[in-house]
Amino acid sequence: MIVFLLLLLGAVMNDTSARDVISFNTGWQFKKGPFSTDPMRASAQWDGKWEEVTIPHTWNAKDMQVKADAFYEGVGYYRKKQFFGNELAGKRVFLRFEGVGACTEVYVNGKLVGTHKGGYSAFAFEIGTALKLGAENEIIVKADNTARPDVIPVNHSLFGVYGGIYRPVWLITTEQNNITVTDCASPGVYITQKNVSRRSADITVKVKLDNGSLAPAQLVLENSIYTQEGKKVVSQRLPLELTPQGTQSYVSTFKLKNPHLWQGREDPYLYKVVSCLLANGEVIDEVTQPLGVRHYEIVAGKGFYLNGEKYPMYGVTRHQDWWGLGSALTNREHDFDLAQIMDVGATTVRFAHYQQSEYLYSRCDTLGLIIWAEIPFVNRVTGYESDNAQTQLRELIRQSFNHPSIYVWGLHNEVYQPHEYTASLTQSLHDLAKTEDPDRYTVAVNGYGHANHPVNQNTDIQGMNRYFGWYEKKVQDIKPWVEGLEKDYPWQKLMLTEYGADANLDHQTEYLGDALNWGKPYYPETFQTKTHEYQWSVIAEHPYIIASYLWNMFDFAVPMWSRGGVPARNLKGLMTFDRKIKKDSYYWYKANWSKSPVLYLTQRRNTDRERKQTSVTVYSNIGTPKVYLNGKELTGIRKGYTDVHYIFDQVTLEKGKNKIKAVAVYNGKEYVDEIEWDYQSEKKRDADAHENKNEHGGVSKCAPSFF
């Protein structure tokens, strides 16, 4: 299984020499603007002034993360000198970029070989005719992350578009006849499935072929399906004559009997589809793609169904950037993020607000995460972005078509005025998605809670972002909101696509009201915890919310903001930007979602206690815990919002250090969590910011018990 996924990513060459896919990430030089003259003409004068870099690379790894509205937005140049030998004579040569922020021009030996607009989708250019074989060649890439009205996103307001070649680059070499490389940089193979059940499934494999010569070729296309263990299940050979007049499509159909279904996290079983192109009995090209046999269905008011079984949609969202790295990530960072998402117990991920790494999507296939992929049509419209939005959607769909983990294409997020333009463009995007891929859902997201908003109801699913208690109203207003929609719009396929609150770990208090003025510089972690505790309990009781996606799994950069005491940062993550600290809310969801044992005392960082009489909260999914204060067992435990939520009220602290210990026994094993608080005297916080009492308590010097 690992081998065929690596083949999918181009990291391993095929057994034959038909198609070579090699990493093209080393030996690059970089020069950052701004430039006073035409850089292409001046590049020869920069010798000795280039910086040696390795791809992935971004020039905004630091400045976009530390100070609001103070980052470099503009042009950067990359140069690579590469020897291409005469053995490439008669071959076709391509460069494939997985992601460049955000608009790109690629030159080979001074010749423009292609341009691309959009910072998140892959693109591929054929460069063979511009090469000098048997000599050193110069490749120059111009990258520009300047916000512009005709390329989405049209600004840096919700997140920053990091500049540079921040995802891998591949050099692909094929014979003259190949499985197309330049069909929106897709694999050239498209797998669809119909009538999926445990008895059978109808599988269609469409392959796009390209003849780069000036003569028709007599070829054979062989499509085969293999089990995860490597056994060939079915195969079909199609003799064909491939003419040079454009890309040609060929289709094989199969009926899989008694298929092993892809069942999410429970059993993410993957077949593989191998498409081989043969000439005179020899393989001249080959592409391998994953096949997860599954069927998704959404029933309004009831929920999400996977292969006919109701499936829990425990959702998180993820921005791709890391502290100190920006968007220039390796597979190690992607794997780390996915490990945290799996650990918290999530079953579905909204990858927001743009196309993310191919490797990431492939790992979700193998992990069984059900995912939402979307384009960066966010925040604002200009009236000039229509063509580019459609291009980026087409690229997303074709490049990601075969990932069984993807169930929906996201078309826009919080885009409004002018309503008529936005609604019309959303309808066009929906039509495009259904033309490219009739079998998946579409979704658009609104930041208002009204089903009848002028830009709504233009996609299969209506997403709504709701931040009760943070941007509007009170934490508890989520309940009447969803119950009102249930009553008035029972037919609507609704998803709660963002909710939550910021949490600065340096801000701690026991005094919390039911709403927080997010414009103030004080963002206590305890308010985030309170928000998630109550709002998840409401979500869990309302199947009308087909899926929910908390915002966000990780803190991330917002280079135009300065709020909550940390410049250029959105603090709504369950984990900190550097991925070093898991906030209390992380363990709330892990206790509610995960099958792993969790015993956790909350308010671990709120060490300076403000009240002598307080409350202690424990999350435990392994039964009722016993809790001790300074060695004495506490009494009066009660259940909170869910079955894993335990609260001790009216706990009286001693002056000085107070040690709290929680103990639970599960399957014969004892789990322990210990924290320490300090109480000196009663303290009253600003009543305007903190008007009501909280029902939590806790801070730790010891690691929690979670396995």
Give the residue numbers annotated as catalytic, written as ranges.
414
8 A C-beta contact, residue 147 and residue 155: yes
8 A C-beta contact, residue 217 and residue 177: yes
Question: What's the CA gap between 508 and 524, in Å, rounded?
Answer: 5
Give the H or E element holding residue 486.
Answer: helix 478-488
| Contacts of residue 180, Cβ cutoff 8 Å, sequence gap at least 6 | 186, 188, 208, 209, 210, 247
Question: What's the CA gap between 251 and 205, in Å, rounded?
Answer: 6
Residue with tokens 């999507």: 361
142 pairs with which residues across the strands?
77, 105
Cα–Cα distances in angstroms (integers) from residue 86 to residues 92, 128, 137, 211, in the given order: 13, 12, 13, 21
| Contacts of residue 306, Cβ cutoff 8 Å, sequence gap at least 6 | 263, 264, 294, 295, 296, 370
What is the helix, strand, coil percentage profile of the chain, to 5? Answer: 20, 40, 45
8 A C-beta contact, residue 25 and residue 13: no
Phi (first) and psi of residue 129, to 5 degrees: -70, -15
Give me the torsion for CA of 685, 687, 692, 694, rounded to 10°. -20
Give the 3-state secondary structure of residue 538.
helix
Full DSSP string of 290-353: EE----EEEETTTEEEETTEE---EEEEE---BTTTBT---HHHHHHHHHHHHHHT-SEEEE-S
107 pairs with which residues across the strands?
112, 140
Chain mean position to CA 443: 15
Question: What's the CA gap between 564 and 579, in Å, rounded?
Answer: 19
| Contacts of residue 96, Cβ cutoff 8 Å, sequence gap at least 6 | 10, 122, 123, 124, 169, 170, 171, 172, 181, 185
Give the H or E element holding residue 482.
Answer: helix 478-488
What DSSP character marks residue 435?
Answer: H
Residue with tokens 């940089």: 185
Cα–Cα distances in angstroms (integers) from residue 13 to residues 23, 226, 228, 313, in the given order: 11, 19, 19, 37
Give me the torsion for CA of 575, 101, 154, 495, rounded to 10°. -40
Query: If we measure between CA atoms, which residue out of 277, 273, 284 comes closest to residue 20?
Result: 284
Written as one letter, the residue type at 322 is: W
Tally of CA atoms within 13 A in the half-sphere of 302 that contains its CB: 10
Strand 262-263 relative to strand 705-706, pairing: unpaired
